[in-house]
Amino acid sequence: MRRIARFFLWLFASIGAAVVIGGVGAVLIAVNMPDKDLPPRMILTLDLRGGLIDNRSDDPFEQLRGDSSNYLRRIVEALDAARTDNRVDGLVLRLHGDQLRMAHVQELRDAITAFRKSGKWASAHATTFSGVADYAAAAATGEIWMRPSGTVNVTGVAISFPHVKDALATLGVEAQIEQRHEFKSAAETFTRNNMSEPARVSWRAVLKSWFGQLTVELATARDMTEDRVRELIDGAPHIGEAAMQNGLIDKLGYWDGFAAAQRARANVGNGDEAATVSIHDYAQTLEAEPENPSARIALIHGVGEVTSTTASTPFRHDALAADRIAATIRRIAADKEIDGIILRIDSPGGGYGASDSVWRAVKFAREKGKRVVASLGVVAASGGYFIAMGADRIVAQPATLTGSIGVFGGKIVLSELWRKLGVNWEQIRVGAQAGMWSPHWPFEPGAQARQRAILDHIYQDFTEKAAADRGLDGPGIDAAARGRVWTGVDAKRLGLVDRLGGLTTAVGEMRDLLKLAADAPVALVVRPAARTPLEQALEVLKESQSPFTALEALVTSYYQGPGWEMRRWGRLVGSLMDGFSMRPAPVGELQLPPYLVSP
């Protein structure tokens, strides 16, 4: 009788989950229904509230509240189409003190620059500028307005790293984690209470590279010398009138006055009044594929922490599920309708085995005759670079964080914590290394030797594959590896990257590999296709999880805000506390340390 009761409870809960999620899907369809009737004259508007993202999420709540609307690829495609669209007069960029990422801004800047070179105008309005990245986005336009009470916080770039060794020691917790090699600073989060000198050297070089790129970009955009830009940055923040007098902005004004000025600008001598149209509404009217494309290219997004399975990431948009990505690549390798693959990566890394499985799928596709180009977003480092390095060519933005060819691994030891709490653990084991991953005891000498051998093996595998894929000799890979993080511009110098640019550049590289004309039309086909809310729920249920888990995953996804770089480390700490006992051997993490970039 109890089994029957549980069956009906499960059945009703499943129906309830399907109804709730299906209802959300219906609302999404209604909200996102494209309107093909555009006015004869338009000013396109791009509201950067919420920042820019590399992949349109299939998180239903996120789509509903609009966080996924600033999908960078669609914005770039819309601006490219608008260049030759006689209905479009200009572009208005609206900023709200948004924390944008430099690599994304560089891709947006290139699209706005091409738009303006076609004879169109572009203007920006900001309530305030929170840092140099969002200011650089505005500087790509020809005219910058700011609210009179706003501030231009072009104070430079800073990056912060937490170190929790002392905090763990206070609790009676010890991190027995090692790294390969001196620049692989992720383990230092747990094993030190300050930065090591190699880590400081590595990250200072990253900041100097970023700062140099920004200085050149702002000097060019605002018609200043680089020395003058550095002087203004050192004298920041700049408020209202001072910002205008120093040439950082062109006018002070509220949004209503700015909007009226842009409408007047568009309507001078042009007959019918121009209407403002969201760039997202405009993008929805564009044809999904060009007529008679010369090639069809699969676009695969790999965004977030590299995890092994889809089942562990229901409704999560900040995880790169290796099984799903690898299976997609293998299917495309056998698809005669697809001519090549562009792998768009925005990932700080993750598990060694998961990264390796995607790398192998990339190599498999190439063996089957498919060309593969990797396009690196904000970050494609450690496991993210592992995935990319097997491609025919690699494209990165100058500000992309990449490289970090290294590994760390180990466990968190809780024995002192249990002693403080008066808890005594006892263990019975058979096998010399049985229980070595348990968090309740430190590594014994034999177990520690095996752990070190595993890390050495992973590092050797990573570097040998990188050297073979990138054509680097021993000294070349040693200079590029050892766990060091590079910006895209430095990675290109070292041979880790082939070209600087964004997705548009990656498409150009694919044309070259396929021996097509530089202007040959190609169709980008996103694979795998976005899952509907119902498909996501069924996927969770298929993995023998409770329907309550499906609902919980759906609801909790609504509360996931920005800051996935830090959230993924919360999950990693949880894994470490489990002693890695549920992870497949060999144990190793290919990740960047947790960091926060601030102006």
pLDDT confidence of residue 103: 96
Do 314 and 424 belong together in one domain? Answer: yes
pLDDT confidence of residue 119: 94
Ramachandran region, residue 54 (left: φ > 0; alpha: ψ -120 to 50; beta: rest) = alpha
Domain that holds residue 445: 295-529+561-598
Of 262, 284, 306, the residue at which a domain comes to its end is 284
pLDDT confidence of residue 536: 57
Amino acid at 175: A
Closest to 89 in 3D by CA, of 269, 329, 323, 294? 269
* C-beta separation of 311 from 267 below 8 A: no
Within a domain: 142: yes
pLDDT confidence of residue 594: 79
Do 568 and 447 belong together in one domain? Answer: yes
Do 269 and 367 belong together in one domain? Answer: no
Within a domain: 179: no
Q: What's the number of domains the chain is made of?
A: 2
pLDDT confidence of residue 591: 84
pLDDT confidence of residue 303: 92
Do 334 and 470 belong together in one domain? Answer: yes
Bridge partners (DSSP) listed for residue 278 = 45
pLDDT confidence of residue 54: 86
Measure Cα distances from 215 to 71, 132, 344 in Å: 27, 10, 27
Q: How far apart are CA 9 and CA 397, in angstroms?
A: 52
Within a domain: 4: no
Strand pairing class (151-152; 238-239): antiparallel
* C-beta separation of 349 from 75 below 8 A: no
- Please report, to the nearest 10 degrees, the dihedral formed by the alpha carbons of residues 309, 315, 320, 323 taken in order: 30
pLDDT confidence of residue 308: 85
Closest to 218 in 3D by CA, of 248, 239, 241, 245? 248
Amino acid at 491: A
Strand order, beta sheet including 174-180:
174-180, 407-413, 589-591, 349-351, 305-307, 319-321
Closest to 135 in 3D by CA, of 147, 126, 148? 126
Q: CB burial class (10 A; 0-12, 13-18, 19+) of residue 487?
A: buried
Do 255 and 389 belong together in one domain? Answer: no
CATH of the domain at 140: 3.90.226.10
pLDDT confidence of residue 46: 96
Do 377 and 447 belong together in one domain? Answer: yes
Bridge partners (DSSP) listed for residue 591 = 349
pTM: 0.85
Task: Note down pLDDT in tens along the chain; length 599 residues.
Answer: 544 545 444 444 555 545 545 554 444 444 444 445 789 899 999 999 888 998 765 555 444 444 446 899 999 999 999 999 999 999 999 999 877 999 999 999 999 999 999 999 999 999 999 999 999 999 999 999 999 999 999 999 999 999 999 999 999 999 999 999 999 999 999 999 999 999 999 999 999 999 999 999 999 999 999 999 999 999 999 999 999 999 999 999 999 999 999 998 887 555 567 889 999 999 988 876 778 899 999 999 999 999 987 654 544 556 789 999 999 999 999 999 999 999 999 999 999 999 999 999 999 999 999 999 999 999 999 999 999 999 999 999 999 999 999 999 999 999 999 999 999 999 898 999 898 989 999 999 999 999 999 999 999 999 999 999 999 999 999 999 999 999 999 999 999 999 999 999 999 999 999 999 999 999 999 998 766 555 555 555 555 445 444 444 444 443 333 343 444 445 444 444 443 333 333 457 888 887 777 65
Q: How far apart are CA 288 and CA 39, in angstroms?
A: 21
* C-beta separation of 400 from 103 below 8 A: yes
* C-beta separation of 343 from 365 below 8 A: no
Which letter, b or e, does each residue of 22-60 get, where b requires 16 or more Cβ atoms within 10 Å of its Cβ? Answer: eebbeebeeeeeeeeeeeebbbbbbbbeebbbbbbbbbb
Do 568 and 449 belong together in one domain? Answer: yes
**Can you point out the beta strands (E) in 285-365?**
295-303, 305-307, 319-321, 340-347, 349-351
Do 388 and 244 belong together in one domain? Answer: no
Q: How far apart are CA 119 and CA 102, in angstroms?
A: 26
Do 320 and 423 belong together in one domain? Answer: yes
Q: What is the DSSP string of 114-182?
A: HHHHTT-EEEEEES-B-SHHHHHHHHTSSEEEE-TT-EE-----EEE----HHHHHHHT-EEEEEEEST
Within a domain: 307: yes
pLDDT confidence of residue 599: 56
Strand pairing class (143-146; 151-152): unpaired
Of 284, 310, 345, the residue at which a domain comes to its end is 284
Of 265, 284, 303, the residue at which a domain comes to its end is 284
Within a domain: 82: yes
pLDDT confidence of residue 593: 83
Asked if the peptide bond before residue 439 counts as cis, ω within 30 degrees of 0, the response is no
Do 439 and 312 belong together in one domain? Answer: yes
Helical pair 132-139 and 197-222, crossing angle rounded to 10 deg: 30
Within a domain: 7: no
Do 383 and 491 belong together in one domain? Answer: yes
Please name the residue that has the structure tokens 């790293």: 161
* C-beta separation of 354 from 383 below 8 A: yes
Do 367 and 311 belong together in one domain? Answer: yes
* C-beta separation of 463 from 484 below 8 A: no
Within a domain: 515: yes
Radius of gyration of the chain (CA): 26
